[in-house]
Amino acid sequence: MISTQAPMRAAIAGKSPDEIVELQTKGELEGEITARDFLGAIETTPPSIAPGSLRRFEAWNAEFGCELRPPPAREVAEAPAAAPPEAEAPPNDLD
């Protein structure tokens, strides 16, 4: 993902291969990814789907697709009522 590469690109900008290896050895290329990195990636990354393909999908979805809705809120189930006392079992011939 492009956004995950931004901190490393900033760290190695203008460095020689030997300097980059040294940074890696020291663990200095382990930068954190920020929201700014993601926003930069969104601004510079071209769409991965052609506009025509997207229009065809939207048309197909309008005719055959389904509308995704969040699941209904779950109601809190009440505790089950106490079970009725069991009736005495009838005698059997094995007793």
Residues 42-62: what's their mean pLDDT? 89
pLDDT for residue 4: 66
pTM: 0.37
Compute the distance between CA of residue 59 and CA of residue 36 in angstroms, rounded to an integer: 34
Domain ranges of the chain: 2-64
**Predicted confidence (pLDDT) per residue in 63-93, tens digit:** 988 777 777 887 766 656 666 556 565 566 5
Average pLDDT over residues 6-34: 86
pLDDT for the residue 17: 92
pLDDT score of 19: 93
